Structures are given as structure tokens and as C-alpha cells.
Chains A and B, each alone.
Chain A
């Protein structure tokens, strides 16, 4: 909450909360506030999806952006952007479909008869991500110059095009998605130990897998449709949360939602203010923090 107020107050136009003229009021309520709230929802979505995917795949390095889920959603959004411009909700729907397809593809590629190891999973994610990126690049050639700039910015993770309807949809999905994943939290605690173990001790492994992949794809899909690929949030946030509260998913999932919201709001505030009046894409800030952490975690494993 403090982060929300702090983020709303800061910006290239300096605002005081108590003495606003018409124009400043409009900046606060129509531009800055939707953006901050959307940032919070996007952060919560990505962090919760990351936490659940990590437990499901028994891999602390699983992350929507690295697994290709974000790029699947990005490609879906782009298809909607190019071919279904008239229909606003086409973007999240296509993003969700793209996220589901990318998730299943990576999972299938990474899983061999002997099981799944870290290298295989990360490699599969990288391959799917680069493949999808190349399709996205091909499609950008269909865009005119004006659309191209806003699209490129969006692709890097950008909250500047926040709208109220986008915020409501993301809020609804993050609430439902977090509840759905929390309902599987105890089962995920067993999955974290091993799929076979979880099965032996009474977990309906397939059902948990469907709920988690479905919820993660919905969370990432709506987040990406609203703000592009904000990378590494799903890696950094659950990692820090685990350091604070331990590995129990019944704590990790809800705390990741809170911490993810806070993290993206702060990162976006930095993106808006560091080189004001110009802006950075928020994805650049999160990747700047996330990539070194990823290398550190990979080496430690």
C-alpha cells in the first residue's frame, strides 16, 4: 500500500496530494493511478505463476519468461493486435491460448522417460522463446511505423498503455488465479519433493498439473496482454519470498502475490522517473535485476 501511494506521487509531473488543479487531478486519476494498479496486478500475476511453476516442475529456475510462456502470450497478443484490432478482449484471449501452447510444448520437450532435469528445461525454454521471438519479428514487418514503436516498447514490458478495462480484467484473473493456485498449495508441497512421491502420498498429479498450468497460463496471458513481457519477476520474487518464509507454498503463493505487486510497482516507478521526462520499459529494469540473480542461482545449483 505504501508503495502504491509512493508510486502514485512520483512522476515527471510533480504532484502534491492536497492541492491539485484540474490537470494534475487528471494525471493522478486517469493516467498514473491505473498504471500503478495495473503494475501491481501484473507483478502479482507473474510472481504467483512463477512460484507455482517452480514447485510443479521441481525447479527453482522455472520462470514464465524463461520457459517461453511469456513469449507464447506475446505472440498471441500480437496476432490479435494485427488481425483482430476491433475486439478489445481478443488480446488477452489470444495471449492465454499462446501461453497454454508454449507451456505444453516446453513441458513435452523437457520431459524424457528418465524425468526432467534443469538443463533440459532451461534449454527447451530458450529454444521455444527464440523460435517464438523470430515469429514475432517476422510479424512486426506487417506493422506500420507508428504502431511499430509502441509495439516494440510493449514487447519489452511496458505499463504506459494502461487502461481501466485492462486493469479490471487483470485484477479478476489475478484474484481467481491466486485462489486456484492456493487451493493446490499443499499438493504442490508434495510435488516439490517429486511427482512419484506426490502420487504415492495421495496427490492427483494430473489434476494438479492441469490446474497449475491453466492458472499460470491465464495469469501470464493477461499480464502479457496488458503490459508485454516483464521478465524475471516470477524468478526474483518467489526466490526472495522463500528466503523469508520458507518453502511452504501455502505461504509462498500469497506472499509472492504481495511482493510481486510491490516489486513491479517500484520497478515501474523507477522506469518512469530515472530519466524523466523520458521513460524506460519496466521490463528493462526487472531484467537488469533478474538476469544476474538467475546466473547466481544457476551456479549455486
Chain B
């Protein structure tokens, strides 16, 4: 694992569907141990950007470079070992248990005919424990609530033990206590394992609390990026989200706090 320098370089990538530009000349880099928050209005290209990072969406121009190698030259398995994804989960019609679902995260570590090893099971149980899901191990996925399922989806991504986590609105359906738990887990993982995360969220205050860097996307282009304190300004937010905001400091942490003016 790279200990210093950049683990991921996104270099001037552009993406278009049916001649329509979704992303245009987007560049940023990801350093080990850091959390990057990706903010922007609906349709700004946030999801497309993280899908381009793991090779799910083809880039028209530009490069995504992972540990010095272009993502386009890596196999599915090599990419999935390094980059785990937490996306919006679609319900499955088959009766899968929570443990079976989480073990999908160990797929890249096994062979084609292979069964999970004791090590795989141990890791799956430990991430379930971290995500406050110990008692859910043998429950069926389609019996859980939306928020519980979302936590299982995070557990599956943590089970990969990847260097990079991509999280697409991980806290969308989650109660307050578990929102904080999820972000604390992601932060702890990044610090302990020296991995990094890109998080898409609409919660500007969660982003300000947990991210070391913020990227503001507007109409497929990077509008601003850098320290939360410098990017989360009244002007930038008015420009990107078209609403007026008040800024002050969170009394508990001293980080910038955003309040929408209605």
C-alpha cells in the first residue's frame, strides 16, 4: 500500500451520454487517510464521477490513475479489490441472509468455485459488529428496514478491505444516531487502514464535520475544491445550490456550520 503521495489521480476526465456532456474536465486527487466530500445539486454529475472512478462509466477523455496505473488497464477484479462501493441498494427478490450479503464483499478474495474461508467469515462478522448489526447476522435482507439495509450495504463494502471507499449518499435513509456511526466508522477505517473515501452527500454539515477536503460540482464541472472552511462559503453555496445560507461555527467542533435561509 502506498503510504505517502496520491493513491488516486483523476486527470481532466470528461464523460458524455448520447452527445450530452455529464462531466467536463474534472480533476482531483485522493490522498491516503483522507475523506473527500463530493457536493452539488441533483444532476450535477456526482454519481457519474464516482462511477467513472471505479471504471463503471467510460471516460471520453482524461485518465483515472490508481496507484500509478490507469484504471482502464486493470481487470474488474483488480479494481474491485482496491475500490469498494456503497451505492443505493436495490431490493433483491431472493431470500438472502445478511451474512450472505456481506460475504459478497469477499468475492474478490476467492476463486471461481471457491467457498468462503474461515477468515472471510471472521471478517464479515467483525464488520457486522462494527456496524452495530451483530444480531442481524442470520436475518433475511428483505425483512430489514431501509436504514438497516443501508448499514448492511456499508458493512459489505468494509468487508472488501479496500484502499478506497466510494459512498453514494450512504446516510440517505438512516436515523441520526446511525448517520453519525457510519461517518465515524468511515473515518476510523480511513485513519487505521490508511485508506481514503469519497462521499456524496447532501448534508453539508456532515461534510464539514468529517471531510478533509470538499469538491463542489456544478453542471459537470468542478466549481471549487479544497479545505471545507474555504469551499463552504456563502457565495459558493449560493452559486451552486441557488439558496441563501448563513455560516457560523459548530459550537462543539469549531468547524464551519451551514444554515439554510428559507
A interface residues with partner B (beta carbon < 8 Å): 55, 58-60, 182-187, 189-190, 192-194, 196-197, 199-204, 242, 246-248, 250, 301
Would A248 and B100 count as touching, CB distance under 8 A? yes
Would B87 and A192 count as touching, CB distance under 8 A? no
B20 at the interface (CB under 8 A from A): no
Report 8 cross-chain contacts, Cβ distance below 8 Å, ordered by A residue.
A55-B94, A186-B113, A190-B107, A192-B96, A196-B87, A201-B84, A202-B79, A203-B107
* Residues 76 to 95 of chain B near chain A (Cβ within 8 Å): 76-77, 79-81, 84-85, 87, 89-90, 92-95
Cross-chain contact of B105 among A58, A182, A199, A201 (Cβ < 8 A): A201
Minimum C-beta distance from B92 to chain A (A) = 5
Q: Which residue of A lies closest to B79 (CB)?
A: A202
Q: Which are the 7 A-B pairs with shortest beta-carbon distances? A: A202-B80, A202-B108, A200-B85, A247-B94, A202-B77, A194-B90, A190-B104
Cross-chain contact of A59 among B93, B95, B107 (Cβ < 8 A): B93
* Residues 50 to 90 of chain B near chain A (Cβ within 8 Å): 54, 56, 75-77, 79-81, 84-85, 87, 89-90
Would B107 and A193 count as touching, CB distance under 8 A? no
Residues 92-126 of chain B: 1 if any A CB is under 8 Å from the residue's CB, otherwise 0? 11111100110011011010111100000000000
Minimum C-beta distance from B156 to chain A (A) = 8
Would B113 and A193 count as touching, CB distance under 8 A? no
**Do A182 and B95 form a contact, CB below 8 Å, given A189-B100, A200-B80, A201-B107?**
no
B interface residues with partner A (beta carbon < 8 Å): 54, 56, 75-77, 79-81, 84-85, 87, 89-90, 92-97, 100-101, 104-105, 107-108, 110, 112-115, 156, 160
Minimum C-beta distance from A301 to chain B (A) = 7
**How many angstroms between the C-alpha atoms of A250 and B260 in the bound complex?**
52
Would A203 and B76 count as touching, CB distance under 8 A? yes
Task: Name 7 extra pairs, CB < 8 A, besides A200-B85, A202-B77.
Answer: A60-B93, A186-B114, A199-B56, A199-B76, A202-B79, A202-B108, A246-B100
Most chain A CB inside 10 Å of its own CB: which residue of B76, B101, B108, B113: B76
Would B108 and A197 count as touching, CB distance under 8 A? no
Would B87 and A200 count as touching, CB distance under 8 A? yes
Q: Which residue of A lies closest to B111 (CB)?
A: A186
Minimum C-beta distance from B141 to chain A (A) = 8
Cross-chain contact of B76 among A184, A204, A242 (Cβ < 8 A): A204
Minimum C-beta distance from A283 to chain B (A) = 27
Minimum C-beta distance from B105 to chain A (A) = 6
Would A200 and B107 count as touching, CB distance under 8 A? no
Would A60 and B107 count as touching, CB distance under 8 A? no
Cross-chain contact of B92 among A194, A204, A246 (Cβ < 8 A): A194
**How many angstroms between the C-alpha atoms of A241 and B110 in the bound complex?**
25
Q: Which residues does chain B contribute within 8 Å of A190, judged by CB atoms?
A: 104, 107
